[in-house]
Structure 1
Amino acid sequence: MAVLFLIVPNGFRDEEYAVPKRVLEEAGFEVVTASTLLGKLRGKKDLVIARVDIALDKVNSADYQGLMIVGGQRTYWHNATVLRLCREFHAAGKLVAAICISGAIPAQAGLMRGKQLTVFPDVDALESIRQNGGIYVNKPVVVSDNVITADGPAAAEEFGRAMVKFLTR
């Protein structure tokens, strides 16, 4: 039972990676970390060093129960590979989760038309959600079918618990 966590190669948000990872691992899930660079990557606050297990371009959605996109930057906005993976996970009824600024990505993938989601309330993120038919809700965590979004680091624990609840249903 593995969940894929996608981090940016430079400046992912430490607690948005480490807290949900801990929550999932404590619930018995394996967390596999992906990025565009292999090796060890440091979080934005230099509190976490993540070991990247697989390169983004080598990911096969069939190998995982879910995809979680860690926040920190807009690096993966409109990234064709990330959008394709979001669509594949979603179409299979698997978890698609994103926290902070990455919350706009499920909308960019076309998954959120007429559905609620949350994101760090950045002007560009809110506009991206609106342009892609999503409905922004000012809550820490929002669950819409198999898409779970969270607005930032303060919601990381609740976000992790929501992912476990979905994955163990």
Structure 2
Amino acid sequence: MGRIAFLVAAEGIERVELTEPWKAVEDAGHEPVLVSPDSGEVQTFNHLTAADKLPVDEVVADVSVDEFAALVLPGGVANPDALRTDAKAVAFVKDFVASGKPVAAICHAPWTLIEADVVRGRTLTSWPSLQTDLRNAGANWVDQEVATDENLITSRNPDDLPAFSEALLKALG
């Protein structure tokens, strides 16, 4: 089974959008790996309330797309907003999408896809407030629990996590 990269910033990660897909890939026999721009710990949140701190497994500058079978981008507002300002994280996302391997992004995470300039001509969903950003970046935004366009898998919010995780596992085979 493959290693699955979960790319997150230091804080602002919506806890359930990290932990639920993590458990799904782990239960399916894959190895989830927490990747971040910096070593140490990351801070998850239950919406706006601080939740668990989790240890970083790998630093994004030290990893390669070749090491992973898929990439998961959890949401939260601050998390993708911080990731899209980190050149190495954005390059990793861009390279991952170009590889053709599955890239799954939920809620606000498509902001990082926009920054990587990989949404043009693609159909995605997201938290509703991102629809204008996605359309302005050339994407076709749809309001549905999961949208799969080639190797991009997107969902709107935590309520969509079962469909999101199912689509990710299906893409992994």
Normalised to the residue count of structure 2, the TM-score between the two structures is: 0.88
- Distance in 2 between residues matched to 1:43 and 1:26, nearest whole Å: 21
* Unaligned segments of structure 2, at least 5 residues: none
User: Quick one: which of 136, 142, 145 aligns to 1:131?
Assistant: 136
Q: What does residue 119 of structure 1 align with?
A: 126
User: Quick one: which of 53, 62, 73 aligns to 1:58?
Assistant: 62
- Distance in 1 between residues matched to 2:42 and 2:111, nearest whole Å: 23
Deviations 1:52-72 (A, max 9, x none): 101122121111011111111
User: Are the structure 2 counterparts of residues 42 and 104 from structure 1 closer, same or farther at C-alpha, using a change threshold of 3 Å?
Assistant: closer
- Distance in 2 between residues matched to 1:7 and 1:86, nearest whole Å: 11
User: In terms of mean alpha carbon deviation, does 34-43 or 142-151 score higher?
Assistant: 34-43
Check conservation: 1:108, 1:129, Cα contact below 8 A.
no
CA positional deviation for 1:47: 3.9
* Unaligned segments of structure 1, at least 5 residues: none
Alignment of 1:106 with 2:113, yes or no, is: yes
Check conservation: 2:10, 2:41, Cα contact below 8 A.
no
- Distance in 1 between residues matched to 2:148 and 2:54, nearest whole Å: 27
- Distance in 2 between residues matched to 1:82 and 1:140, nearest whole Å: 26
Answer 1 or 2: which has greater strand percent: 2
Secondary structure, counterpart of 2:29 in structure 1: coil
Q: What does residue 9 of structure 1 align with?
A: 10
Secondary structure, counterpart of 1:42 in structure 2: strand
Residue-pair matches, total? 166
Q: What does residue 82 of structure 1 align with?
A: 89
Query: Equivalent pairs: percent with the same residue?
Result: 28
Q: What does residue 151 of structure 1 align with?
A: 156
Q: What does residue 73 of structure 2 align with?
A: 69
Check conservation: 1:77, 1:102, Cα contact below 8 A.
no
Deviations 1:35-83 (A, max 9, x none): 1232332311244332210112212111101111111121122542223
User: In terms of mean alpha carbon deviation, does 37-46 or 109-118 score higher?
Assistant: 37-46
Check conservation: 1:24, 1:31, Cα contact below 8 A.
yes
- Distance in 2 between residues matched to 1:107 and 1:42, nearest whole Å: 24
- Distance in 2 between residues matched to 1:51 and 1:140, nearest whole Å: 30
Normalised to the residue count of structure 1, the TM-score between the two structures is: 0.90
- Distance in 1 between residues matched to 2:23 and 2:157, nearest whole Å: 16
CA positional deviation for 1:34: 1.0
Check conservation: 2:69, 2:172, Cα contact below 8 A.
yes
Q: What does residue 165 of structure 2 align with?
A: 160
Moved over 6 A (4+): none
Q: What does residue 22 of structure 2 align with?
A: 21
